[in-house]
Chain A
């Protein structure tokens, strides 16, 4: 079948190399004619022919001879829009059209594939000749957006090379990311046609709550207007209710306990609710419209929107600690100085994720009520990656403060190295030059786990562990690749951290059949690291490899190698797997985690690596006195003599002129040890205090009279600055963009001109962008933020600076209640039409039977999506032939040597054939007689030669060159005998047979030579010619 659809031809890639044929061939032929003259006619001709062939093949290889396959095959990729804007009831007919087109129009060798897309494309069915009907979608797609261009791009990259290509796009044409038109032109350039099947719909009677608008900043006791903007397609009746949320608690807004009946006009409607703010806090107001029954409103998700505002009061601090009550002294001291403190306890980590503790803030809005966040001896693994980013962004972009207090779980010892929080602090967690206190060695054993995305998680966790370890620790990783093998052997992390992380990126651990060999391999590697204080193995598995044998477990325990086992509960509640894994951990004094939530994995690995890597804590008794180097701004009025401390976490100061380190610890000697450091980071400030707040290391500080003053000054210094000036900031979102407008007036209500206004926007995913405002009118500044499609909260913080040190920060936020997908009220067939006409395709309209059912046959009849465009050149695929050419050239070269060196005896070959032929005919007797005759004559020949040889040796010994030694003469004689007979032999004329190699040296010869040797030895001067 394939041959029917494909033709082959050849092509030459670099034809000018063919000139070599003209240049080389004639001289080679001419020269060979002369030099091979001795070969005889036939062999010479053959040799010349072969030689020419060798050269021709080499030249063809240089000229890049290629096989060209011209194919009639067609690949059609169906692009299926599954975004929210396409009504659900269209999904069935779209799939059915695809199924029908493929089953009815695809030829056997054509390929068909399906790509479903929303925000990003996913290949549902790769281009394949064997197609099974699609019932539903198997891939998960973010349907909150439509990116037609990404889908087209994916399709262009998915096509196989050697077929004609067509895309069939099934969509409503609405897009809110990327530019499909650009991709359509790209497709055209690549010769890919795009047919479109437009989905049509129109939501005439939809109601959308567009936004809830509230002033961004209000004062305590103020009454604010909450404006709700609602768009209606038709006059509609319904109810509106406003909810208020503060401190994670949602309730109907005071005065709006019951839904208010409203009537909406066609177009925009604004409803206003007055609200009095009694307490300082961060408030979110949500407006919900519920349409009357039978209103024609089809989507509920676009019937609500929210807005937020901040009511500021006294200074507020959020203190997050690892163990409840550990920082009571500090909290008491701060409260005594009029600082409001909210204490939260961070969760601890086990197999199901973060357990216990309080609900830590998960978005910037929740952090807004606090002017400073204090991280009091909490490890990094208590926070999700997002929360860590949040803490950093809160300082850099929102201008809040961040204070980290020391302790066994803080700074480097808390695993904070390489975290966003480290970036925000004035100290680095890694020590540049340090006397290493306790190295650790960690071997990771990875067993491909069959949890969802197992390979992905394996990479994440291995990388987390390596990132958490210090430069001085050893790390190695064992995985399964047909056998257990080190991905990288145990070595000091140092400068190789990057290469370790990269090799993990390339790792694909296999399904390990048994534990023993890997454990033994890890143990062998660990025991030789004699300078490692802790030797630890972390093994991740679903528990179904063959359990370790007791001997191996005993050996591990004896070598003081601890094993932590991480069971990924791939097989549900599998008691045997739990037993195997927990016993291994128990018997080797490790920890056992039964992971029920893969998201807990990275934090388990961070925790494990952190627990074993403890070179960063310095403790000593008795306590020593730290030095107050100078009184920086937060230390105004603090006396120079400080109480003693008995421990710190080692850190190093960031190399920045913004960093100030007014308190240092003299111990450990040989390196600068910051005790208190602070700096300005972005719009905010941060502080690092590397000893603790008094529970373990700084016990003398709590009874120090200046304790409360010291801490309140430090905390106050770090707090968010109070806003000054008379600036109002307004954010407006339209068409996927946020417009920022600032009106600046001074105290006398005069315009403030020529201010520099720069700031940041923090998007819902916590990525940030910079904003720079330009003055467009007196006291009026504007900027536009692109790419605000995602739903969620956008925060904008603007720092301004004018003449005479006039400066400050204004901030605001805007909430995008739902994706733009839900704003689309009608399809956009025009965009699809342009795509089709740009890429030379057609628009396939939906056809209906009289009973309103889709008439697929009519649609298929209107366009065959597997038909190749006759105007397009057929697709070709090229294959270089040089490897084959070189192979045959070298083979022919050998043949050339063979022809020149080997002379075939054609008579004998012919005789051989004749004999064989006669044998075949069953006429063996003649052959046998002939053979016997030959044997007889050969025998007579040999007898005669022996006789002659005897006669010759008796009277004519071998002539000897007097210069050669007796031994050499024997060799020479033998060589002479082996040489073929020559006409001009210097030997006396004897029978030619005498020199034939068949004859061994006779006894007489040897005797004679021995006699000569004796004579020679006796008379060395005399010449003896041997006669």
Chain B
């Protein structure tokens, strides 16, 4: 018997198996999802165009939507509690962060201020006087807040002055950087931020379709991305979150997908495509990642949350 035949046989079967698996596996890789939840509506427990999310240490998901309220869900989507922000408008807050002290920081975008809540919904204090402005200490449209190891607040905003302002733990204005523009270090709508253990701040510079990385003093230490749909490219990155293994997850509003990057900007994977089925996204605004790398993506125009691994 010819000795090359067994090899051929195994190769062929392997190939067929690989093909079969690829067609199945690929669609699985693109759309496999742990859990999808959310009913469209304005009752508590329902979602009306949710736009931002944050996870606390007990894996509770804090979500705000267009109805100016903050709702807390467990990781399976069961409603836990909820409350309204002090003033009502047709748009809700667009930034949420659970800081190192377990407080909930809310960028109350259309009221030009940052609200600091306890996790139970007690309003502790606010940053900014609620008057729209471009002077130090006032905000255009604040989009996100992060806190560094020293407890300083970094607030991103857009409008007439796209910048990041830094406040002391007591809320005093310290410094700012950025500006409206396309050059490195400037922003067009910095939509979200994430801060790592070295106090490096990753900024989703959405209308420039890039991620910029700054140190705590505002020095640009890294930048990647351009508009496009290929891996490594982005279209309107609206949210960034740090996951385990030094991964950075980017929620792309324009491409309607989630892209995973190394902290150096190497694309490590893509999840999601436009649509309404599970595993498909319709203008997603935000995401949150837990310690195990489970991603909760806020599928805004589908009024739901999708949970997956990538």
Contacts of B20 in A (CB 8 A): 891
In the complex the two chains form, is B140's CB within 8 Å of A513's CB? Answer: no
Contacts of B8 in A (CB 8 A): 902
Q: Contact string, B220-253, partner A, CB cutoff 8 A, digits 1/0?
A: 0000000000000001101000000000000001
Q: Does B79 contact A (CB under 8 A)?
A: yes
Tell me whether A574 and B110 are in contact in the complex, defined as CB-CB below 8 angstroms, given that A482-B235, A482-B256 are known contacts: yes
Q: Contact string, A902-943, partner B, CB cutoff 8 A, digits 1/0?
A: 111101110000000000000000000000000000000000
- Tell me the complex Cα distance, A482–B162, Å: 22
Identify B1's interface contact among A510, A546, A907, CB under 8 A.
A907
Q: Contact string, B137-166, partner A, CB cutoff 8 A, digits 1/0?
A: 000110000000000000000111010000
In the complex the two chains form, is A450's CB within 8 Å of B141's CB? Answer: no
Chain B's nearest CB lies how many Å from the CB of A729? 51
Chain A's nearest CB lies how many Å from the CB of B66? 7
Contacts of B212 in A (CB 8 A): none
Contacts of A452 in B (CB 8 A): 90
Identify B2's interface contact among A511, A891, A903, CB under 8 A.
A903
Q: Does A643 contact B (CB under 8 A)?
A: no
In the complex the two chains form, is A450's CB within 8 Å of B91's CB? Answer: yes
Give the interface SS of chain B, mostly helix, strand, loop or mixed.
loop
Q: Does A298 contact B (CB under 8 A)?
A: no
Q: Does B292 contact A (CB under 8 A)?
A: no
In the complex the two chains form, is A905's CB within 8 Å of B132's CB? Answer: no
In the complex the two chains form, is B1's CB within 8 Å of A903's CB? Answer: yes
Q: Does B277 contact A (CB under 8 A)?
A: no
- Tell me the complex Cα distance, A905–B5, Å: 7
In the complex the two chains form, is B188's CB within 8 Å of A514's CB? Answer: yes
Q: How many residues of A contact B (CB 8 A)?
A: 38
- Tell me the complex Cα distance, A128–B46, Å: 12
Kindly specify which of B36-44, B114-122, B192-200 makes contact with the partner chain: B36-44
Q: Does A274 contact B (CB under 8 A)?
A: no
In the complex the two chains form, is A450's CB within 8 Å of B6's CB? Answer: no
Nearest residue in A to B188 (C-beta to C-beta)? Answer: A546
Q: Does A572 contact B (CB under 8 A)?
A: yes
Kindly specify which of B9-17, B53-61, B99-107 makes contact with the partner chain: B9-17
- Tell me the complex Cα distance, A580–B160, Å: 8
Q: Does A864 contact B (CB under 8 A)?
A: no
Identify A576's interface contact among B66, B79, B160, B181, CB under 8 A.
B160
Q: Contact string, B246-287, partner A, CB cutoff 8 A, digits 1/0?
A: 000000011110000000000000000010000000010000
Q: Does A28 contact B (CB under 8 A)?
A: no
Contacts of A576 in B (CB 8 A): 132, 140-141, 159-160
In the complex the two chains form, is A898's CB within 8 Å of B13's CB? Answer: yes
Identify B274's interface contact among A482, A516, A891, CB under 8 A.
A482
Identify B283's interface contact among A510, A516, A572, CB under 8 A.
A510
Q: Does B189 contact A (CB under 8 A)?
A: yes
Q: Contact string, A526-560, partner B, CB cutoff 8 A, digits 1/0?
A: 00000000000000000010110100000000000
Chain A's nearest CB lies how many Å from the CB of B46? 8
Q: Does B45 contact A (CB under 8 A)?
A: yes
Q: Does A126 contact B (CB under 8 A)?
A: yes
Contacts of A703 in B (CB 8 A): none
Q: Does A91 contact B (CB under 8 A)?
A: no
In the complex the two chains form, is A574's CB within 8 Å of B132's CB? Answer: yes
In the complex the two chains form, is B5's CB within 8 Å of A546's CB? Answer: no
Identify B206's interface contact among A126, A513, A898, CB under 8 A.
A513
Nearest residue in A to B187 (C-beta to C-beta)? Answer: A546
Q: Does B301 contact A (CB under 8 A)?
A: yes
Nearest residue in B to A575 (C-beta to C-beta)? Answer: B132
In the complex the two chains form, is A138's CB within 8 Å of B41's CB? Answer: yes
Contacts of A894 in B (CB 8 A): 16
Q: Does A579 contact B (CB under 8 A)?
A: yes
In the complex the two chains form, is A513's CB within 8 Å of B16's CB? Answer: no
Nearest residue in A to B37 (C-beta to C-beta)? Answer: A130
Chain A's nearest CB lies how many Å from the CB of B153? 22
Chain A's nearest CB lies how many Å from the CB of B229? 9
Contacts of B301 in A (CB 8 A): 510
Contacts of B79 in A (CB 8 A): 132
- Tell me the complex Cα distance, A905–B44, Å: 67
Chain A's nearest CB lies how many Å from the CB of B207? 4
In the complex the two chains form, is A138's CB within 8 Å of B12's CB? Answer: no
Chain A's nearest CB lies how many Å from the CB of B216? 26
Identify B9's interface contact among A511, A575, A902, CB under 8 A.
A902
Q: Does B30 contact A (CB under 8 A)?
A: no
Identify B160's interface contact among A450, A513, A579, A903, CB under 8 A.
A579
Identify A902's interface contact among B3, B12, B162, CB under 8 A.
B12
In the complex the two chains form, is A904's CB within 8 Å of B5's CB? Answer: yes
- Tell me the complex Cα distance, A535–B189, Å: 29
- Tell me the complex Cα distance, A547–B179, Å: 13
Q: Contact string, A873-904, partner B, CB cutoff 8 A, digits 1/0?
A: 00000000000000000010011001000111
Interface residues on B, range: 35 or more
In the complex the two chains form, is B9's CB within 8 Å of A546's CB? Answer: no
- Tell me the complex Cα distance, A986–B190, Å: 81
- Tell me the complex Cα distance, A482–B188, Å: 17
Chain B's nearest CB lies how many Å from the CB of A631? 62
Chain A's nearest CB lies how many Å from the CB of B240? 15
- Tell me the complex Cα distance, A547–B134, Å: 14
- Tell me the complex Cα distance, A572–B66, Å: 14
- Tell me the complex Cα distance, A908–B5, Å: 11
Identify A546's interface contact among B89, B207, B253, CB under 8 A.
B207
In the complex the two chains form, is B16's CB within 8 Å of A891's CB? Answer: yes
Chain B's nearest CB lies how many Å from the CB of A555? 15
Nearest residue in B to A907 (C-beta to C-beta)? Answer: B1
- Tell me the complex Cα distance, A898–B9, Å: 7
Tell me whether A483 and B1 are in contact in the complex, defined as CB-CB below 8 angstroms, given that A128-B39, A138-B43, A571-B110 are known contacts: no
Q: Does A774 contact B (CB under 8 A)?
A: no
In the complex the two chains form, is B3's CB within 8 Å of A570's CB? Answer: no
Tell me whether A482 and B160 are in contact in the complex, defined as CB-CB below 8 angstroms, given that A571-B91, A891-B16, A905-B3 are known contacts: no
Nearest residue in B to A902 (C-beta to C-beta)? Answer: B9
In the complex the two chains form, is B90's CB within 8 Å of A544's CB? Answer: no
Q: Does B75 contact A (CB under 8 A)?
A: no
Q: Does A262 contact B (CB under 8 A)?
A: no
Contacts of A218 in B (CB 8 A): none
Identify B42's interface contact among A138, A513, A544, CB under 8 A.
A138
In the complex the two chains form, is A895's CB within 8 Å of B16's CB? Answer: yes
- Tell me the complex Cα distance, A580–B134, Å: 14
Q: Does A451 contact B (CB under 8 A)?
A: yes
Chain B's nearest CB lies how many Å from the CB of A422? 37
Chain A's nearest CB lies how many Å from the CB of B253? 7
Chain A's nearest CB lies how many Å from the CB of B7? 9
The A411-450 residues at the B interface (CB cut-off 8 A) are: 450
The B79-132 residues at the A interface (CB cut-off 8 A) are: 79, 89-91, 110, 132
Chain B's nearest CB lies how many Å from the CB of A386? 27
Chain B's nearest CB lies how many Å from the CB of A390? 33
In the complex the two chains form, is B207's CB within 8 Å of A898's CB? Answer: no
In the complex the two chains form, is B235's CB within 8 Å of A571's CB? Answer: no
Tell me whether A905 and B6 are in contact in the complex, defined as CB-CB below 8 angstroms, given that A138-B42, A513-B206 are known contacts: yes
In the complex the two chains form, is B5's CB within 8 Å of A483's CB? Answer: no
In the complex the two chains form, is A450's CB within 8 Å of B16's CB? Answer: no
- Tell me the complex Cα distance, A319–B236, Å: 55
A-B contact pairs, 23 of them (CB 8 A): A132-B43, A138-B43, A450-B90, A451-B90, A482-B235, A482-B253, A483-B235, A546-B158, A546-B207, A547-B159, A549-B181, A549-B182, A570-B90, A574-B132, A576-B140, A891-B16, A903-B2, A903-B5, A904-B5, A905-B2, A905-B5, A907-B1, A909-B6
Interface, chain A (partner B; CB < 8 A):
126, 128, 130, 132, 138, 450-452, 482-483, 510-511, 513-514, 516, 544, 546-547, 549, 570-572, 574-576, 579-580, 891, 894-895, 898, 902-905, 907-909
- Closest 8 A/B residue pairs (Cβ): A902-B9, A514-B207, A546-B189, A905-B6, A571-B110, A546-B207, A905-B1, A576-B159
Interface, chain B (partner A; CB < 8 A):
1-3, 5-6, 8-9, 12-13, 16, 20, 39, 41-46, 66, 79, 89-91, 110, 132, 140-141, 158-160, 162, 180-182, 188-189, 206-207, 235-236, 238, 253-256, 274, 283, 301
Given contacts A138-B41, A544-B91, A576-B140, 11 further A-B contacts (CB under 8 A): A130-B45, A132-B46, A450-B91, A452-B90, A510-B301, A546-B162, A576-B132, A898-B13, A902-B12, A903-B5, A907-B1
